[in-house]
Amino acid sequence: MANTYRVLDKVHLQDEEEFVDILEDKRHCSDLRFALRTFSPPPYKGAPACSSAELNQAVLESQYLRYVINEVAMGTGSSVEEVRDEACGIMREMSQNLQLRFIRLLGFVVRKVFKRIFSAIYVNMEGLQALQQATQECPVILMPNHRSYIDFLVVSYILFNYDIPMPVIASGISLAGMKIVGEMLRRSGAFFIRRAIGSDKLYWAVLSEYVRTIVRKGFAPLEFFVEGLRSRTLKSLPPKLGMMNMILEPFFKGEVYDVTLLPISISYDRVLEESLLAHELLGFPKPRESTAGLLKASRVLQENYGCMHVNFGRPLSVRQLCEGKINRCQYNLTPRDLPQKPNAEAQACGSWLAHMIVRLQEEGALTSPWSLMACVLLQVPTAALTEEGLLFHQLTERTLWLRKLALDFRAHLNWPEKVPDSDVMSSTVALHRSVVCRKAGRVYLTRNDELEQKHSMEEDMMRTAAALLMLASYRNQCLHVFVRPALLALAMSVTKSTRKDELLTCFCFLQEVFSNEFVFIPGQSAQDFEEACSLLHKCKAVHVGQWEVTDSDTEPEVLSFLQELLKPFIESYQVPFIICVAN
């Protein structure tokens, strides 16, 4: 556990780090020149480079896959050749075909688009330097959070820009189905994984051997989204562990000296898919990924999406993190090539690491003024927002209050310095005119298009709901900053107790209840509780004694704000619960 804190501390140190706008840096240079730049990443020391054909061959010829193929053939009664062909088919469907030419092409297009829709892309250079160093030493796993389709484009674009080996990227199979684009992605290093693999033994075998071989060979960073899919609510998702276990296995079995995990936090001022997400949440079916759809979506290019921050976390050594957590000798007595389910110890280790990465992604994320504003707006009654509006200066005041609280809670803000707060507020509102609008000193929820059309009640409601959901999503972006103190505040109001042990019990219970809502590192409730205490103490909301936590009178607002923040979650859990009980 001490390890976690060491790691987390390091992230805090990044406060001082400087972010550089990579668009500004290169805006004057032509896109074509950029795309044709010499790309010369420093080579990996562990092994020579490996083409995608060699990689595929290594996978297909692996002892492991041969074993599984035989087993499947025996099980199903088909011939070994048939199963082998099937495995080859899976490989064809899955494998990446990384080619520098296509990276260049993609670089050209992506750059054009980015320059148009983003005012800036900020990247922390120190993180990039550390990453470049790490790619030479041992296999690197890039683990960005996943909020937008363009996440991986951004990462690849940055790496290309700074001479870091291009990653191979685990992506959903749906992208492969897109005409031309699928193939382009494949050649830019994407490999495709089916959803809902279930118990398809052969598929699992091919996939896991493919991933393990990439890690073993270490020639390129492997990028994957530990959350498994795009977060529709912009909240961190509980990590998926399958991929994580595949990545750790080569280290556990001694096939590589170490594996470097690199959390990346991508924070958008405004997410490209915001309304799409809200509509999906409202039950509209997600449009199928298709090239035609992509072209249709090109209208997103007309808008401004503000800034984006990409924060490359510190490289984490799996070896160091797992010290004392895993007994690597357990693999001594069976051939390492044989299929072997990770045991409880290895699984626990994988789960712990995955959760920690998510936590680090959260810690590395930058909280935007808009996200804080969303928190404030959502605590105003909806009717007020739609009808009479909220006084702009009230909104400003509350948001600034929240900014202070967030800073107390050690959040990283991307609040522009040297700009008057009022300007920040107005430009933020302007950027998000799809959600709110400002008229005559008041802020309203955006409901209508500019055209004064008559809408049915139902349509109106849908619009309000969509706007509210967008607000909620942006609030979710900063929930991780408040969630621990908020749970403690909640525990205090639920138990009406001041005794630490009772509060801790309740705190743990709440963590358990909301374990699908918020990401907590398993087995670390006590630390989380302590953290919550110290944060609330820091902002003077409570007094913390050795055995007791009591509220102080100096900052009564804090506790009520935090309790209010969690209210929607509690209510949404209460409703089904009441129904279940009633039935």
Partner 1 sequence: MASNSSGDESSRHQTARHRLSVIAGHLQRPTDRNAALLAVDCKAQGSKPNVNTSDRGEGRTVPRRRQEIMKWNGWGYSDSRFLFNKKGQAEFTGNRYRLSGMIIPGLKDWMEGTFGANLQHKTQATPVLNTSAVQPPTLNEAFVEELKSTGIPFSHEGEDRVFRAHGHCLHEIFALREGKIGRVPDMVVWPNCHNDVVKIVELACKHNVCLIPYGGGTSVSSALECPPEETRSIVSLDTSQMNRILWIDEKNLTAHVESGIVGQDLERLLNESGYCTGHEPDSMEFSSLGGWVATRASGMKKNIYGNIEDLVVHIKMVTPRGVIEKSCQGPRMSTGPDIHHFILGSEGTLGVVTEVTIKIRPMPEYQKYGSVVFPNFEQGVACLREVARQRCAPASIRLMDNEQFKFGHALKPQVSSIFTSFLDGLKKFYITKFKGFDPNRLCVATLLFEGPREKVLQHEKQVYDIAAKFGGLAAGEDNGQRGYMLTFVIAYLRDLGMDYYVIGESFETSVPWDRVLDICRNVKARIIRECKDKGVQFPPLSTCRVTQTYDAGACVYFYFAFNYRGLSDPVHVYEQVEHAAREEILANGGSLSHHHGVGKLRKEWMRETVSNVGVGMLKSVKDYVDPNNIFGNRNLL
Query: Given the rule CB under 8 A, which residues bind partner 1?
Result: 46, 254-255, 257-258, 327-329, 331-332, 335-337
C-alpha to C-alpha distances, 416 to 37, 62, 366, 425, 557, nearest whole angstrom:
32, 53, 12, 10, 26
Comparing CB distances to partner 1, the nearer of 48 and 198 is 48
CB of 330 to partner 1, least distance (A): 10
Helix (H, G, I), strand (E, B) or coil at 510: helix
Q: Count Cβ atoms below 10 Å from residue 63 Cβ, excluding itself.
A: 12
What does 126-149 look like in DSSP terms, one character per residue?
HHHHHHHHHHHHS-EEEEE---ST
Comparing CB distances to partner 1, the nearer of 79 and 327 is 327
Residue 82 phi, psi dihedral angles, 5° rounding: -60, -45
CB of 336 to partner 1, least distance (A): 7
CB of 255 to partner 1, least distance (A): 6
Comparing CB distances to partner 1, the nearer of 329 and 440 is 329
CB of 335 to partner 1, least distance (A): 7
CB of 159 to partner 1, least distance (A): 25
Among 443, 454, 573, 475, CA closest to 515: 573
308: which strand partners? 121, 268
Helix (H, G, I), strand (E, B) or coil at 261: strand
Among 264, 267, 285, 263, CA closest to 276: 285
Q: Please, what sign has the CA dihedral across residues 472, 473, 476, 477?
A: negative
Comparing CB distances to partner 1, the nearer of 257 and 577 is 257
Comparing CB distances to partner 1, the nearer of 76 and 332 is 332
CB of 529 to partner 1, least distance (A): 33
Comparing CB distances to partner 1, the nearer of 65 and 390 is 65
Comparing CB distances to partner 1, the nearer of 329 and 582 is 329
- The answer to whether 166 touches 189, Cβ cutoff 8 Å, is yes
**Per DSSP, which regions of 416-505 are E strands?**
436-439, 442-445
| 526/507 Cα distance (integer angstroms) | 9
CB of 253 to partner 1, least distance (A): 8
Comparing CB distances to partner 1, the nearer of 66 and 112 is 66
Comparing CB distances to partner 1, the nearer of 254 and 568 is 254
Helix (H, G, I), strand (E, B) or coil at 318: helix
CB of 212 to partner 1, least distance (A): 13
Q: Look-up: residue for tokens 């053939």?
A: 73
CB of 360 to partner 1, least distance (A): 23
Residues 6+ apart with CB under 8 A from 517: 235, 569
Among 522, 524, 551, CA closest to 539: 551
Comparing CB distances to partner 1, the nearer of 149 and 331 is 331
CB of 266 to partner 1, least distance (A): 31
Comparing CB distances to partner 1, the nearer of 329 and 451 is 329
Q: Count Cβ atoms below 10 Å from residue 109 Cβ, excluding itself.
A: 14
Both structure tokens of 495: 């138990």
| 278/470 Cα distance (integer angstroms) | 6
| 130/139 Cα distance (integer angstroms) | 14
What does 276-304 look like in DSSP terms, one character per residue?
HHHHHHTTPPPPPP-HHHHHHGGGGGGS-
Residue 264 phi, psi dihedral angles, 5° rounding: -125, 130
CB of 328 to partner 1, least distance (A): 4
CB of 132 to partner 1, least distance (A): 19
Comparing CB distances to partner 1, the nearer of 337 and 502 is 337
Residue 307 phi, psi dihedral angles, 5° rounding: -105, 165
